[in-house]
Amino acid sequence: MSEYTVVGQTVARVDAVEKVTGAAQYGADVHPPGMLYGKLVRSKHAHANIRSIDTSEAEKLPGVRAIITQDDVPSGRRVFATDKVLYLGEPIAAVAATDPDIAEEAAERIKIDYEVLPVVQDVMEAIKPSAPRLHGDGTKDGPNRREISGEIRTLSRDKENDHSDAISNLEAELENYPDEVYYNISAESHTEAGDVEKGFAESDVVVEDTYVIPRVHQTYMEPHVSVASADSSGKITVWASTQGPFAIRSGIAGTLGIPLTQINVIGTTMGGGFGGRFGVIITHVPAVLLSQKTGRPVRVQMTREEEFTDGRPAPGCVIKLKTGATNDGRILAREALAFWDSGSVSGASIGSTIRVRGVYKIPNLKVDAYGVHTNKSGTAAYRAPGAPQAIFAGESQLDEIAERIGMDPVKFRLMNMREEGDEVPAGSSEPKVGYKETLEAVADAAGWWDREAGENQGWGVAVGDWTNGCGPGGVYVSVHEDGSVRIFHGSMDITGTDTAISQIIAEILTVPYESVTIRRGDTDSAPYSTGSGGSVVTFTMGNTAKLAAEDAHRRILELASERLNTNVDDLELRDGKVHVTSADPPKSISLGELAAYSLSTTGGPIVGKGSFARQASTPALAAQIAKVEVDPGTGRTRVLKLVASQDVGFAINPMAVEGQIEGGTVQGYAWAMMEEMQYDENGNVNPGFVDYRVPTSADLPTVESVIVEVPAPNGPYGAKGVGEPPITPTLATMANAVKDAIGIRINELPIKPEKIVNALKSNGH
Amino acid sequence: MKSFEFFEPTTLAEASRLFAEEHAQLLAGGTDLVIGMKALTETPQSVISLQKIPGLTGITTEADNSISIGAMTKVREVELSADILQHHTALAEGAAEIGSIQIRNLATVGGNIAHASPAADTVAGLLVADAQVHIASADGERTVPINELFTGPGETVLTPGEIITRFRLPSPASGSHYIKHKIREVMDLAFIGVAAAINMDNGTIAEARIGLAAVAPTPIRATEAEELLKGNAPTPALLEQAGEAAAAASSPISDLRCSAEHRREMVDVLTRRTLEQASERASG
Amino acid sequence: MAKLPVSLTINGDEHDLLIEPRKTLLAVLRDTIGLTGTKEGCSTGDCGACTVIVDGKAVTSCMVLGVTASGKEITTIEGLAGDGELHPVQQAFIETGGYQCGFCTPGFIMASKALIDENPDRTEEEFRHALGGNICRCTGYTKILEAVLKAAEEIRTTT
Ligand SMILES: Cc1cc2nc3c(=O)[nH]c(=O)nc-3n(C[C@@H](O)[C@@H](O)[C@H](O)COP(=O)(O)OP(=O)(O)OC[C@H]3O[C@@H](n4cnc5c(N)ncnc54)[C@H](O)[C@@H]3O)c2cc1C
Ligand code: FES
Ligand code: FES
């Protein structure tokens, strides 16, 4: 640690003051002069044909400036529903008015005549031949059915340990429908390694269960918003609260069929994203179209209710999982069949079903996954997309096996964890990762080895893995004549990544963190940058920043060698000064003096440039332990202790890293215990915080975080992306703790009080 | 929100006159009305604020030990009032269960009752306090016992122009308690709510009142259970019987929050627990 | 419908305005006056992002009709720092890392300030309960609670 002076230290974030004083400008804080307020007109049905749209009453309302439908999309690319709506809340038209209340009133006045169609919301219903088809009869995108090999047909379960009504109903129904054809399939993915049948045959214990995970919303606290301004030359400016301004730019350009350079996207400060703020979200294009039509800037801002009906949440899924192991604790085979609820469009993270393999040596693995259409909005990424769902199944079942063979759950995991050089099932060779170190760290910190549990109390452990992504990015660094350093780039900061970039550059240029400032450009000015998600920023932009600083470093030594008439090899940059290493008496020149010198000679400003695309990333592990107490009378569960460790490679800003661990863990806790988007034939029925419960501070104890650092070979200073891993194990951590407390496993999330009471009842309590 | 005309009368008579007009709605703290207007479930043409009318706020204890709570008193004030905490603990506990402090600084107890949500958190406490609801209108005043106020979800016996002015809580029971069944610790609406108030006499229950919220179209008293308790010592077996009787008296619905069956079971469990706590307090 | 005259004292400044009765205090602050530090996360009273202090009490400004705030003293996040110095609650949020995206932060800071003004001696458990009206999706609350306890301690010892 001590070899560095700035990285590895906790520092206040670069945006600290603006964030605590209300000065930071978020999307909805942008208010160009003359701005109009846009409002989307949304479907009131979950599945219906549109017979007609009548805007005449709305047009009469004073203050209404424009009403647009699909007819107003010059490129013809689908922005609004025309003939058919597939979910409650699907946009059909948009209005711009001088006042938000007028826009809302106008939207209400637009009369849409619907022919209501049968609805399907449950994935296990949707795959049946009797289900209504969303994209049926070959008229819409893609095929609507898939033939599959008859190998995995029915969903069965471990009857003794499973008390979910939903699952038993589902099984009963599955028994009488043709099992070789699934309907409403949006995508599929199949992976196989080894021979699972052989693996199960050789196993002493085989456990099979079905896990049901609900659709949940990312619930970033700032609802989607865009402000667009189209000027008379055709130039479009979009202020967007987004994780990826460059992706928005290309998305809008593609949808409208116009060149990239005609659009400038300005990324505003963003109120959370967690994956839900990528790409062209629902508000951008309507805002642009309304601005083009009215010649005035237009803001389209979603309400919280619209977030729930027309956001792009994380998919729910049903996973049937089977695991075989020997009595001495070796896992031999695992097989999964998963149905992911992709809503009305394809795109659920079905590929993540492979995460059921965990970080274990499993010689035989088979994974089949399907995306299934239902009458819901489409889905998007949510913090380690797909992993929490798959890992919930995998880590829950692991505990069941541990229990059957009488092994401690931590020891069982340690024994099966892959080590450097081991083969990753259906993957390549395992690099060096702190799997065991991380699990041991959490066990030690939580007091696992001498844990005590009172009546109705229980302990749960689980681990989850994730590998950060990476993508292209660019950073410029310039050194000013007062010795200060300025950074310029185009990547969005939510979690403190600007701070990490600043720390890295300060470290390399040996200046105090305080003398570095960072500035984000818009898509017109900044170099391309990949979106901020997939834990990419620290890895990508950290590496990019390093390259830029090293470039500047090189330039600084060149200039100093010219100025001091010394060979570059005899120079060293230290404490913000270039020193002649061999000089006696000491001789040095400060960065400020060099910058000034360079300006007045032929050198020009000191500029360093970094450009980066990709390098192999290293997996990261999150390991968590929870202690809970269940009230058997009411079924309410209280978390008494929540400890989370994570192999972060290297913590550039430990306070920010802890913040990521704590935040991700709590999101996982909520998915396990309370969050669930509920649907009926009318669509989403809990579109607000009253019945879509996100936890408050009163629901939780302090989350204890433990940082483990096993460096990633290609990460900046060994750092890995830290944002996503912490949510991956928590669902199972909680389920395992509840099982330990009440002796019954609940495989259908969220583990609400009613489910616990019913489980206890059916177990004779 | 639809537009409306806004009035801030300074007398009850004026408010009552304005409120008696068609498409008029009262504004107390606004935490129900503003939500309703945003959701377009409330589209009044005139909104009449009660905030400028003197005499509708405050908690006072009368000579006969009865307590009077002005309808416009904030639920935060009810929750923190030493008198209410001591004499009508269930009501203070119910008030403290409403939303957040930010909401309780706005919401009034009159609004919580007049809105007539079966899940309102002050209602069970007022039921077991045997509160009298004082109502004013252009025709004068009348008083309605709280258990006769509600006629259905969102429905009361109040007629156009009638305004609740205060709640009078007659002589207090010696111990009471409120429990709300919920998922989140705070900011959850009651899956069900149970209040119990007990007077003890030499180790036996002299009087018991049980108020149930969110278990029927209106808040109700569990009278059979109350009868069972009267004259008996609060043994675990008796309290269990009372719980069962209260559950039998409830007619809950299934909705997205939970099933009717779960609600009924929770009435059973929580009635037992509130009685336990209330009788302990009454004995202490 | 006719706009009504209102007179609001916001962060010590008087504002005489004409506003429509249907505009909430949140809308007046953000759209009419341009004080956008107060955030809208739900507009239904559930998230606390819009918390401001009215006559000494923390309230969700999305639940208040602007016309009813006439004559009242309103403090928003913009009015907290004085003389170029951050308020101890703001300072504590920076020092403990009590924010990430920062969207909930103005609401949390205003709610915390009101709680500490009322009673700085609350325990962690009591603060956790009392701050239940504010949702933060990023931090998991651990560092927010650290900030609030730190600020309470600071305020308790300096006053
Ligand atoms: C985020 C949030 C969370 C909440 N959580 C809870 C909770 O957990 N538990 C709970 O019980 N409630 C909860 N509520 C609702 C609660 O705040 C309201 O029921 C409140 O008590 C209503 O009072 P008010 O003064 O705000 O009424 P207003 O909204 O001003 O009035 C509502 C209606 O009541 C009628 N009314 C009001 N006062 C009178 C009167 N004096 N005479 C006659 N009629 C009158 C009028 O019809 C009026 O339109 C919550 C509300 C919000 C916004
Ligand atoms: S915006 Fe007011 S509480 Fe959420
Ligand atoms: S910091 Fe993002 S919501 Fe709290």
Q: What is the DSSP string of chain B?
A: ----EEE--SSHHHHHHHHHSTTEEEESS-TTHHHHHHTTS---SEEEE-TT-TTS--EEE-TTS-EEEETT-BHHHHHH-HHHHHH-HHHHHHHHTSS-HHHHTT-BHHHHHHTT-TT-TTHHHHHHTTPEEEEEETTEEEEEEGGGTEEETTEESPPTT-EEEEEEE-SPPSEEEEEEE-SSSSS---SEEEEEEEEEETTEEEEEEEEEESSSSS-EE-HHHHHHHTTS---HHHHHHHHHHHHHH------SS--HHHHHHHHHHHHHHHHHHHHHHHH-
Nearest to B256 among A685, A696, A753 (CB): A685
Cβ A227 vs Cβ A297: under 8 Å: yes
Kindly state the tokens that stand for A750: 């969220």
Q: Across residues B19-40, what is the average pLDDT?
A: 97
Name residues contacting ligand 1 (CB within 6 A).
B 25-33, 35, 50, 71, 75, 97-99, 103, 106-108, 110-112, 114-115, 120-121, 158, 163-164, 189; C 45-46, 63
Residues B102, C132: C-beta atoms closer than 8 Å:
no
**Polymer length of chain C:** 159
Q: With 60 as the cut, is the pLDDT of residue B244 above it?
A: yes
Domain edges within chain C? 4-79, 88-158
Residue C117 near ligand 2, beta carbon < 6 Å: no
Query: So what's the pLDDT on residue A2?
Result: 57
**How far, in Å, CA of A758 to CA of A742, rounded?**
12
Q: With 60 as the cut, is the pLDDT of residue A149 above it?
A: no
Q: With 70 as the cut, is the pLDDT of residue B67 above it?
A: yes
DSSP annotation of A425 = T
**How far, in Å, CA of A149 to CA of A350, rounded?**
19
CATH topology of domain C4-79: Ubiquitin-like (UB roll) (3.10.20)
Classify residue B254 by burial, with Cβ atoms within 10 Å: 0-12, 13-18, 19+.
exposed
The answer, for B7 touching chain C at a CB cutoff of 8 Å, is no
Between A671 and A345, name the one with better pLDDT: A671
Q: Whose CA is nearest to atom 3 of ligand 3?
A: C136
Between C131 and A152, name the one with better pLDDT: C131
Q: Across residues A677-696, what is the average pLDDT?
A: 97
**How far, in Å, CA of B267 to CA of B244, rounded?**
8
Query: So what's the pLDDT on residue C43?
Result: 97
Beta bridge partners of B135: B142, B164
Kindly state the tokens that stand for B167: 């709640």
Give percent of chain A above pLDDT 70.
93
**How far, in Å, CA of C26 to CA of B34, rounded?**
12
Q: With 60 as the cut, is the pLDDT of residue A541 above it?
A: yes
φ and ψ at A568, to 5 degrees? -55, -35
Torsion sign (Cα): A598, A599, A602, A606: positive
Residues C22, B49: C-beta atoms closer than 8 Å:
no
Q: With 50 as the cut, is the pLDDT of residue A382 above it?
A: yes
Domain edges within chain B? 5-49, 59-169, 175-283
Q: How confident is the model at residue A495 (pLDDT cuts 50, 70, 90)?
A: confident
Nearest CA distance, B32 vs chain A (angstrom): 13
DSSP annotation of A153 = -
Nearest to B181 among A634, A685, A696 (CB): A634
**Torsion over CA of C113, C118, C122 and C124, rounded to 10 degrees?**
-20
Q: With 70 as the cut, is the pLDDT of residue B22 above it?
A: yes
**How far, in Å, CA of C87 to CA of C79, rounded?**
10
DSSP annotation of C30 = I
ipTM over 0.95: yes
Kindly state the tokens that stand for A698: 């009163």
Strands (E), A576-636: 577-580, 588-590, 606-612, 619-630
Helix (H, G, I), strand (E, B) or coil at A145: strand
Give the DSSP H or E segment for A704.
strand A703-708
Q: What predicted TM-score, i.e. pTM, was given to this entire model?
A: 0.95
Q: What is the DSSP string of A316-336?
A: PEEEEEEEEE-TTS-EEEEEE
Q: Which of A568, A574, A576, A615 is nearest to A592 (CA)?
A: A576
**How far, in Å, CA of B222 to CA of C44, rounded?**
33
Query: So what's the pLDDT on residue C59?
Result: 98
Residues C97, A696: C-beta atoms closer than 8 Å:
no
Q: How far is the CA of B29 from the centre of ligand 1 (A)?
A: 7
* Homologous superfamily in CATH for domain B175-283: CO dehydrogenase flavoprotein, C-terminal domain (3.30.390.50)
Torsion sign (Cα): C93, C94, C97, C99: positive
Q: How far is the CA of C106 from the centre of ligand 3 (A)?
A: 10
Query: CA angle, corner A245, sides to A243 and A248, nearest 5?
Result: 100
Residues of A in contact with B183 (CB under 8 A): 636, 673-674, 693, 752-753
Q: With 60 as the cut, is the pLDDT of residue B41 above it?
A: yes
Amino acid letter for position A499: T
Residues of A serving a catalytic function are: 724
Q: With 60 as the cut, is the pLDDT of residue A140 above it?
A: no
Give the tens place of pLDDT for each residue, A153-197.
Answer: 223 333 333 334 444 444 444 444 444 578 899 899 999 999 999
Indicate the class that CATH gives domain C88-158.
mainly alpha
Q: How far is the CA of A522 from the centre of ligand 3 (A)?
A: 24
Helix (H, G, I), strand (E, B) or coil at A690: coil
Query: So what's the pLDDT on residue B171?
Result: 80
Beta strand pairing status for A185-193 and A364-373? Answer: antiparallel
**How far, in Å, CA of A183 to CA of A169, rounded?**
19
Q: Across residues A128-155, what is the average pLDDT?
A: 51
Residues C48, B102: C-beta atoms closer than 8 Å:
yes
Torsion sign (Cα): A76, A81, A82, A83: positive
Residues C22, A658: C-beta atoms closer than 8 Å:
no
Q: Across residues A412-434, what is the average pLDDT?
A: 95
Residues of A in contact with C80 (CB under 8 A): 21
Q: At what angle do helices A387-405 and A409-416 cross, to 10 degrees?
A: 110
**Strand-by-strand arrangement of the B5-7 sheet:** B5-7, B46-49, B24-27
- How many beta-carbon contacts under 8 Å exist across A and B? 51
Kindly state the tokens that stand for A172: 């009963």
Q: Whose CA is nearest to atom 4 of ligand 3?
A: C136
Q: Check whether the bond before B172 is cis (ω within 30° of 0).
A: no
The answer, for B34 touching chain C at a CB cutoff of 8 Å, is yes
Kindly state the tokens that stand for A432: 């060096």
Measured CA to CA in angstroms, residue A384 lies from A533, A644, A750 at distances of: 9, 16, 19
Q: With 70 as the cut, is the pLDDT of residue A139 above it?
A: no
Q: With 50 as the cut, is the pLDDT of residue A1 above it?
A: no
**How far, in Å, CA of A33 to CA of A46, rounded?**
38
**How far, in Å, CA of A723 to CA of A272, rounded?**
12
Measured CA to CA in angstroms, residue A669 lies from A386, A447, A750, B186, C137 at distances of: 16, 20, 10, 17, 12
Cβ A287 vs Cβ A240: under 8 Å: no
Residues of B in contact with A685 (CB under 8 A): 256
Q: How confident is the model at residue A150 (pLDDT cuts 50, 70, 90)?
A: very low
Ligand that lies nearest to the alpha carbon of residue C62, given by its number in the listed order:
2
Nearest CA distance, B14 vs chain C (angstrom): 18
Ligand that lies nearest to the alpha carbon of residue C41, given by its number in the listed order:
2
Strands (E), A382-472: 457-467
Beta strand pairing status for A571-574 and A577-580? Answer: antiparallel
Nearest CA distance, C106 vs chain B (angstrom): 14
Helix (H, G, I), strand (E, B) or coil at A637: strand
- Sequence-distant (≥ 6) Cβ neighbours of residue B51 within 8 angstroms: B8, B27, B28, B72, C68
Give the tens place of pLDDT for each residue, A475-484.
Answer: 999 999 999 9
Residues of C in contact with B35 (CB under 8 A): 44-45, 63
Q: Please identify which residue in the block is written with the tokens 């004068």.
A: B140
The answer, for C4 touching chain B at a CB cutoff of 8 Å, is yes
Q: Which of B2, B102, B184, B264 to mutate to test the interface with A (most CBs of A within 10 A)?
A: B184
**How far, in Å, CA of B280 to CA of A543, rounded?**
66
Query: So what's the pLDDT on residue A531?
Result: 84
Query: So what's the pLDDT on residue A3?
Result: 85
Q: Does domain B5-49 have CATH number 3.30.43.10?
A: yes
Q: Check whether the bond before A585 is cis (ω within 30° of 0).
A: yes
**How far, in Å, CA of B271 to CA of B276, rounded?**
8
Q: Which of B194, B171, B203 is nearest to B280 (CA)?
A: B203
Nearest CA distance, A636 vs chain B (angstrom): 7
Residues of B in contact with A633 (CB under 8 A): 269-270, 273
Q: With 50 as the cut, is the pLDDT of residue A148 above it?
A: no
Query: So what's the pLDDT on residue A533?
Result: 75
- What number does CATH give the domain B59-169? 3.30.465.10
Q: Across residues A567-587, what is the average pLDDT?
A: 92
Between A3 and A638, name the one with better pLDDT: A638
**How far, in Å, CA of C78 to CA of A18, rounded?**
10
Beta bridge partners of B209: B197
Rg of chain C on CA atoms, in Å: 16
Q: Which of B 83-112 lie inside 8 A of C, CB atoms?
A: 99-103, 105-106
Cβ A241 vs Cβ C155: under 8 Å: no
Q: How far is the CA of B32 from the centre of ligand 1 (A)?
A: 4
Domains defined for chain A, CATH in brackets: 16-22+470-612 (3.30.365.10), 31-117+224-301 (3.90.1170.50)
Kindly state the tokens that stand for B212: 């149930």
Beta strand pairing status for A36-42 and A298-301? Answer: parallel
Q: How far is the CA of A67 from the centre of ligand 2 (A)?
A: 29
Q: Which of C 70-99 lie inside 8 A of B, CB atoms?
A: none
Query: So what's the pLDDT on residue A151?
Result: 26
Query: So what's the pLDDT on residue A145?
Result: 39
Amino acid letter for position C133: G
Give the tens place of pLDDT for each residue, C31-41.
Answer: 999 999 999 99
Provide the mean pLDDT of chain A.
91
Q: How confident is the model at residue A297 (pLDDT cuts 50, 70, 90)?
A: very high
Nearest CA distance, A756 vs chain C (angstrom): 24
Give the tens place of pLDDT for each residue, C78-117.
Answer: 999 988 899 999 999 999 999 999 999 999 999 999 999 9
**How far, in Å, CA of B109 to CA of C5, rounded?**
29
Residues C80, A12: C-beta atoms closer than 8 Å:
no
Residues of B in contact with C115 (CB under 8 A): 101
Kindly state the tokens that stand for A155: 């969903």
Helix (H, G, I), strand (E, B) or coil at C39: coil
Residue C42 near ligand 2, beta carbon < 6 Å: yes
Give the tens place of pLDDT for each residue, B189-222.
Answer: 999 999 999 999 999 999 999 999 999 999 999 9
